[in-house]
Amino acid sequence: MSSNPTEQLYITNKRIIAYKIEGIFENKRVEIPLSSISSINTSVKGLSASIEIIASNNSASVEKMYIHVARLIKKLVDSLINRNSSHETPNDVTDQIKKLADLRDSGILTEEEFKAKKSKLLGI
């Protein structure tokens, strides 16, 4: 096992993927949806920092990074979580589906269009 694993963190608008590459056959991949993140913590140790992402059923960490990079990652993830949580509430989706049903019932949308829009709203 290598004493200095390579750590990579990928952040999208839906999830965080953390890779820890410790050797040819020793790789660890953790995928955490933004919606399940309960906290993201940074800690400073000397001239470097670490970041820990904690979710309801998982966690990931990256160590030995520049302090300013850890702070930027925390700020980015916090903003993505806030943006995703403030997008649409279940009531908004329900209201939109009701409006689509009204459009279908009045003949403006076909049944196929209604089903496609409904599936998109529900994330199916």
Is residue 40 within 8 Å of residue 78, measured between CB atoms?
A: yes
Gap between the terminal Cα atoms of the chain: 42
β-bridge mates for residue 61, sequence order: 52
What span, in angstroms and rounded, lies between the C-alpha atoms of 124 and 120?
Answer: 6
Please state whether the predicted TM-score (pTM) of the whole model is above 0.75: no
Given a cut of 70, whether residue 115 has pLDDT beyond it is yes
Apex 47 CA angle, 3 and 29, nearest 5: 40
- pLDDT tens across 66-81, in order? 999 999 999 999 888 8
**pLDDT value for 2:** 43
Range ranked top by mean pLDDT from 20-24, 50-54, 96-100, 112-116:
50-54
Instruction: Say if CB 74 and CB 48 are below 8 A apart.
Output: no
Whether residue 104 has pLDDT greater than 80: yes
